[in-house]
Amino acid sequence: MIKYLSSELIIIKKYLSYLFERFKEDRIIVYSGYLSFVTLLSIVPLLAVIFSVFSLFPVFQDWRGEVESFVFKNFVPTLGEAIQGYLVRFVENATKMTSVGLVVLILVALLLISSIDHTLNHIWRVRKNRRQVVSFSIYWVVLTLGPVLIGTSLLTTSYLLSLTGFEENTLLVVRKLFLTVLPYLSSFLSFLLLYLLVPHTRVHFWSALSGAMIAAVLFELSKSAFALYFTHFPVYKDIYGALAIIPLLFVWVFISWVVILVGAQVAASLDGFLDEERTLANEDA
């Protein structure tokens, strides 16, 4: 038993050392800053495209406000309402642009998806990139089908919760539990799908699952810490006044990308470490 635990501790120590080296090599902080800049540049065009897709399906029109509120409340702590107001106005202005302007908006929105794709493939050490036509097709499908899938899932959930088969008290408990768990579950599933589908290489499910779990926990802890700091130490608000939302938004976006890339690094390094261990075991055999 002691010998087994000792060997396990040695493996964990080797993995943590391997993970730390990968962190240094892949410059997670640098890439997080790059993606933060691209995100702030692309967020209005991206939302404009997403809401345009929603507008094509009248059944989703009633859900647009709820989707907005859910996203900003659960993914942008403390700043949600203020940012939502600004972004909705920006998006409304963007949708009034000419056809040429709309094409530019779509290209800028695709830039964010392309940047995420490039960064995750860099972390997974993918050397053979997808063909441009294939990449563009995937980005376009994500951009157009993503909002439809989100809307469909919300409609399905609403329908299930409204079924008369539940007693009223039971329904209230289920609804409350669902709304409590949904932010955590949506974060976890988003990270899991991101790590499984984006890298242009085979990703082991358990590696992606481990990375997604760590990223989801770190994301929720970061939200709580950010909200606590903003509430009890409003230094930025005292200095910048109404403009404080700008640096705070950038800081939060940066923290979010650090968390996402840390989870990706955990998943990728697990794959790499296990492959190396198998290779060494085969050589020794």
Name which residue leads in pLDDT, 225 or 77: 225
For 110-162, what is each residue's pLDDT tens digit? Answer: 787 788 888 988 999 887 776 666 666 766 666 666 555 555 555 555 555 55
pTM value?
A: 0.79
- Please report which confidence band the pLDDT of residue 164 belongs to, taking 50, 70 and 90 as the band edges: very low
Q: In which domain, by residue range, is 204 found?
A: 2-284
Name which residue leads in pLDDT, 10 or 123: 123
What is the mean predicted confidence (pLDDT) over 169-193?
A: 72
Reduced to 3 DSSP states, what percent helix, strand and coil does the chain have, rounded to the nearest 5? Answer: 90, 0, 10
Domains held by the chain: number = 1
How far from chain centre, in Å, is Cα 228? 22
Could you identify the residue written with the tokens 């200095």?
A: 239
Are the CB atoms for 217 and 224 separated by under 8 Å? Answer: no
Closest of 102, 111, 84, 99 to residue 48, by C-alpha: 102
For 100-113, what is each residue's pLDDT tens digit? Answer: 777 777 777 778 77
DSSP secondary structure code for residue 1 in this structure: -
